Amino acid sequence: MPDEALDLDTPAEELPPDDARELVATIRAEIARHDRLYHVDGHPEISDARYDRLFQRLQEVEKRFPHLQSDTSPTQRVAGEPRGELPTLPHAAPMLSLDSTQDPEEVRRFLDRMRKALGSDEIEYLLEPKLDGVSLELVYERGVLARAVTRGNGREGEGVIDNVRTIPSVPLRLREADRGTPEFLSVRGEVLMSLSAFEALNEELVKAGVEPYSNPRNSASGALRQLDASITARRPLQCLAYDVLEVRGPTFRSDEEVVGALREWGFPIPERVRTVRSVDEILEYHAAFERDRDSLDYEIDGIVVKLNGLRERTDLGATAHHPRWAIAFKFEPRKEITRIERIVIQVGRTGVLTPVALLLPVEVGGVTVSRASLHNREELERRDIREEDLVRVQRAGDVIPQVVEVIAEEGRTRAAPFSMPDRCPECRTPVQTKGPFTVCPNRLACPAQLKGRLSHFASREGLDIEGLGSETASLLVERGLVTELADVFDLEEQDLLPLPGFAEKSARNLTAAIRSRRTTELRRFLYAVGIPEVGSAVAGDLASHFGTLERLWDAGEEDIQDVGGVGPRMAEQIRGFFQEPANRAAVARLRDRMEALTVPTGESPGGPFHGRRFVFTGTLESMSRSRAKELVEDAGGRAVSSVSGETHFLVAGAGRGSKLEAARKLGVTILSEQEFLAMLADAGIGL
């Protein structure tokens, strides 16, 4: 019935139970219809005041008849009691990130690779804006919202359903008018805050004496992850849906059908979604959005190009990180002009001294930028960047601040060229030069290096110590509680209680997390101690090959080179690390505090290239070298940088260099690009 005909005036306590039940059902349906008209169709039929009266009437009747309340009622968008913590929940399917580029030619090459892999030139692409928000999974069971999970690491994230219920554009129950509801549906969407709403929110925060947010994305992320959902409810968030991660029931042939289904189920979707068949149409779409970028009421940083056919997507598959059937075509970064106030030196975990420009704060694409890395000594000298220079800055990928260029100022005398210090600013040790880098050699006693090494030691790929992030690591070193890595295992609750941000529960949780890591996998331990050249993959190879820490630290360079993926330089670095008396002693003290270093058994990587080592040289026409390495590693092989006697294949592209001669001398099998592509095809590996 039209909502004007609804009984909004009879006191709730005077309503007969059957009338109350019918009225509740009717008002809920009307509110759902108006939500769809407002959030999905963009054509509201009633005023805000009329909508509020419907909502208030529903609250009145549900309060009088509690048995009529339901989790899917619009009144459940009002938050309840705060929670103690956000639970960690798995995703129904991996939430992968997208490969990206700003180069139109790279987009052409990406599309060419898809066409070759699919063996067809008649391919349709779906285009949509790349929203700069917070990724979210929405799970519906029998049509009812059951879970809401942030992206997290792509495999699992934080459960935020109480917060998401407060977002008006998220359907609490799927709309059934146009199509039936599936038994199970997992939807990927993006939570946003419009620019106008963001500005209004910041005005309120400033008036209240609260620090404003730096950009809409951070504001949306902070609101979504609140422990108190009533705070989320006061934030003007919206959620746009754009993908189905998993569905049980209906089937779809194309992404275009998926988008249509999402809309019919009641989800708002991104604007200007369209399908095209040519590169020129993609470039036109990209250019149009880039022209309109500054007039939009939401942030985007590019467009997304996706293969429209779902069966073809399955054929192409995905890497561990991103699908092979989609790419983000980014816009050029926003650039602004500001002045360098000072250049300071930052000392990292490995002892490298990095010059950093402290800038007069400037807003670049909605983010206030006040510092930018100047990379290293040679780069600083080559570009002749000095203190007090007027410079143009950008955020690379709209994230990392960079100094693009120095702007000449006629009549202004520039400051003297900046010189790197002779001593480490943290520990006063004389520095050394290694190529373009300036390095502090005081690996074990430099506080700045210890802070970075402790954070690395506790990182997810290392010992994965919950609660020991970079801020806590810095605090432990500054207060003298950790003077070497082994000290972390001696920490007691009473040591932590005087520190800022620690109370009994947090101190107890951190010490318990540390104790739980006294038994850990050897591969994690090897990564955590910070051996030069050793990432998590090589650490796993070393652990599997040697089995124990003692066998590794007594191994010679030739023994270490027997490990797949380890070349002469890497073997020299690993051997040198364990031969250094101070390093050996520090690792021994760590080992003494561990209960066990384990090596999982029975694991077999498999894959058609398992156990094979590839080296690439020169330029490949069909793909980038990084893409070629990715294909090899996805198939179980190893892509290494230098030729040795352990190398199985050298893939030689155009402009190849000294690696080709080295491979010939060592009798390594040399493949042309076409032979490599044939090998991939024989192994059933698509591009």
Residues annotated as catalytic (active site), given as ranges: 130
Can you read off the two tokens belonging to residue 663?
Answer: 């491979």
Give bridge partners of residue 144 from the DSSP assignment: 141, 173
Q: How far apart are alpha carbons 455 and 616 in whole angstroms?
A: 34
Can you read off the two tokens belonging to residue 273?
Answer: 């979604």
Rounded to 5 degrees, φ, ψ at 686 are: -85, 155
Question: Comparing C-alpha atoms, which of 20, 17, 18 is closest to residue 28?
Answer: 20
Contacts of 240 (CB under 8 A, 6+ apart): 131, 133, 169, 189, 190, 192, 267, 268, 269, 270
Can you read off the two tokens belonging to residue 460?
Answer: 């997810």
Give bridge partners of residue 357 from the DSSP assignment: 343, 372
Strands 596-598 and 519-521: parallel
Question: Comparing C-alpha atoms, which of 445, 439, 499 is closest to residue 467?
Answer: 499
Contacts of 493 (CB under 8 A, 6+ apart): 504, 507, 508, 511
Q: What is the DSSP letter of 430?
A: B
Max Cα distance, the chain (Å): 97
CA distances from 216 to 209, 240, 317, 369, 507 (A): 19, 15, 33, 15, 33
User: Which amino acid type is present at position 640?
Assistant: V
Q: How many helices (H) and strands (E) does the chain have?
A: 24, 24
Can you read off the two tokens belonging to residue 678?
Answer: 């044939």
Question: Comparing C-alpha atoms, which of 143, 164, 194 is closest to residue 77?
Answer: 164
DSSP-assigned states of every residue in 609-655: TTT-EEEEESB-SSS-HHHHHHHHHHTT-EEESS--TT--EEEE-BT
Can you read off the two tokens belonging to residue 170?
Answer: 């998220």
User: Which amino acid type is present at position 628?
Assistant: A
Give bridge partners of residue 130 from the DSSP assignment: none
Number of Cβ within 10 Å of residue 551's Cβ equals 12
Q: What angle do CA 39, 43, 45 make, to 5 degrees?
A: 105
Sign of the Cα pseudo-torsion (551, 556, 562, 563, in order): positive
Q: How far apart are alpha carbons 387 and 370 in whole angstroms?
A: 14
Q: How far apart are alpha carbons 461 and 545 in whole angstroms?
A: 19
